[in-house]
Structure 1
Amino acid sequence: MTIHKEGFASIGLAGAFVLITNWLLRYFIGEIEWLTTTWLVVSLVFFFIIVQFFRKPTRITPIHPNHVIAPCDGKVVVIEEVVETEYFKGPRRQVSIFMSPINVHINWNPIAGVVNYFKYHPGKYLVAWHPKSSTENERTTTVIKAPNGVEVLFRQIAGALAKRIVWYVKEGQQVSQGSEMGFIKFGSRVDIYLPLDADIKVNLEEKTTGGITVLAHLK
């Protein structure tokens, strides 16, 4: 287990906050022992929460050309047929995964292929489970075309706490299944749009492991 590069600045700021606030309390009201001790404990818990958020586990993706793997850790909150209006402009099978603040927040490419489409959308910060978060929140849209011609679209969606979406892909790029696609800071959601004949392999409320869990089998 290591720390993801996206966390270096946040962890540094959190560490400085803990050191400075504890020094100030000790300097100005050090005689109130219970208060300084309580704040020390609270601030250290806060620091370790920030550190665990940016953990980077070692994972080996089971490569399969017909599998769509989970692009993130979290819980499946939506499985339904919808009309995707940005790229496909037609019916698709949507699978949505909610990422809580305690999940690993790295995003992985669900299939191998070429990035046919990518777009960043500025937007709101509704809670990630809000129905309109997929279309109104800050988000990215990525479409990967597999070697057999099948296309899979997925969106990184910011939540009420997520204030920064990071991505490592661009149009025309060749990506491998299970490689890092990006990172979302502090609570969010990822939507995946699949062909209607895709065989869904997960259920509602099921927990997913990014880069490992098989979401669907493509026909």
Structure 2
Amino acid sequence: MRVKNMNKVDAFKPKPKHTIITREGYPFIAIGLVLTILAYAFGLILLAIVFAVLTIFVCAFFRNPKREPNEKFDENSIFSPADGKVIAIEKIKNDLLIKGPALKVSIFMSVFNCHVNRSPIKGLVENVFYNKGRFFVASLDKASVHNERNTVILLDEKGRKLVLVQIAGFIARRIVSYLREGFKIERGARLGVIRFGSRVDLYFPDNSVQLNVGLNAQVRAGKTIVGRWQ
């Protein structure tokens, strides 16, 4: 059954134009540049080099590349929402958001990964809500339950539900979401950023998806197809 209110709002556009560095990184880059210039001005050359290297790292962290899929896709394709490593694939007996048995896929983003998150499907944002919490290391199992997180419930054009959870980690303590309830979103569109090391969990109704990736697989947001609706 298709979703009736897919035309509730215009197609989702998280930013008016593409920038090679996401705007959430601008303040950090500006601070790094100022510290580099001040250190150099006071003759602290070694310190200036350290600040310059850190500024380059921050630029790389907030990179915002354009992405094209690695392979042909169709309406059943589900893309990775994040760059990183698949650290967990597990079945859950009764997930409250899926409202029944679920399959969870967890992707860990190190500080070296691009941290722009993208929509795994084309569809409607049914709900978005933020939970305050702790800041355990994002690769730990308890991070899914206890850490600060932003939850997005998506419905595709056929009404199939997918839950995406952006999770803050020990270093990442700020989740930026571009989404609101009722937004339409395109497959691969940018949906938010998590600062400095984090994790994204995907939840599907059990037996609704055929996975294309396994444990420890390296995936890229908007490029890697992690699974297909069955």
For 1:110, the equivalent position in structure 2 comes to 120
5 Å-filtered alignment, 1:13-162, equals 13-24=31-42, 26=43, 36-61=44-69, 63-83=73-93, 85-162=95-172
2:6 counterpart of 1:6: no
Moved more, 156-165 or 62-71: 62-71
Rounded Cα–Cα distance in structure 1 between residues aligned with 2:128 and 2:22: 23
Task: Say what the alpha-carbon RMSD is for the aligned residues.
Answer: 1.5
What amino acid maps onto 1:91 in structure 2? P
Which ranges of structure 2 fall in alignment gaps of 5 or more residues? 1-18
Structure ranking higher in helix proportion = 1
What amino acid maps onto 2:25 in structure 1? G
* Residue among 215, 223, 229 paired with 1:204: 215
Query: Aligned with 1:48: secondary structure?
Result: helix
Moved more, 76-85 or 146-155: 76-85
Query: Aligned with 1:2: secondary structure?
Result: coil
Which ranges of structure 1 fall in alignment gaps of 5 or more residues? 27-35
State the TM-score, normalized to the length of structure 2.
Answer: 0.86
Aligned in 2, Cα 1:93/1:38: closer, same or farther, shift over 3 Å? Answer: same
Rounded Cα–Cα distance in structure 2 between residues aligned with 1:206 and 1:83: 24
Structure 1 consecutive aligned stretches of length 4 or more whose deviation exceeds 4 Å? none
Rounded Cα–Cα distance in structure 1 between residues aligned with 2:184 and 2:50: 45
Tell me how far 1:45 sits from its aligned partner: 1.3
CA radius of gyration, larger in = 1
Tell me how far 1:83 sits from its aligned partner: 4.0
Tell me how far 1:85 sits from its aligned partner: 3.7
Tell me how far 1:84 sits from its aligned partner: 5.5
Tell me how far 1:86 sits from its aligned partner: 3.9
State the TM-score, normalized to the length of structure 1.
Answer: 0.90
Moved more, 61-70 or 46-55: 61-70
Query: Aligned with 1:153: secondary structure?
Result: strand
Contact 2:129–2:150 (CA under 8 A) maintained in structure 1: yes
Give the fraction of aligned pairs with identical amino acids, expressed as a percent: 34
Rounded Cα–Cα distance in structure 1 between residues aligned with 2:135 and 2:156: 32
